Amino acid sequence: MGPTLSNLLASVAYSAIGIVIFVVAYKVMERILPYNLDKELAEDHNTAVGLVIGSIMLGLAIIIAAAIH
């Protein structure tokens, strides 16, 4: 297995781990927050909730990227 293939496999593995962490974080937020995230985002078009969730996800992305490097 060449270095290019091993780098590709490592990238895919890290991407999969990152996606799993994001899904788990979203589910945890759904349980912790006092309102229904899906309803607030899809039906009520609540921009503030979208900004909060986006900020949390961006923070997680920075942490995951720092842990990988």
Most distant CA pair in the chain: distance in Å? 51
The answer, yes or no, to whether residue 69 has pLDDT greater than 80, is: no
- Judge whether 40 and 13 are in contact, CB under 8 Å: no
Look up the pTM and report it.
0.74
Question: Band of the pLDDT at 41, cuts 50, 70, 90?
Answer: confident
* pLDDT for 20: 92
Range of the domain at 45: 3-68
Q: Nearest CA to 59 among 21, 20, 33?
A: 21
Region 26-36: what's the mean pLDDT? 88
**What pLDDT sits at residue 8?**
87
Q: Work out the number of other CB atoms within 10 angstroms of the CB of residue 58.
A: 10
How many domains is the chain partitioned into structurally? 1
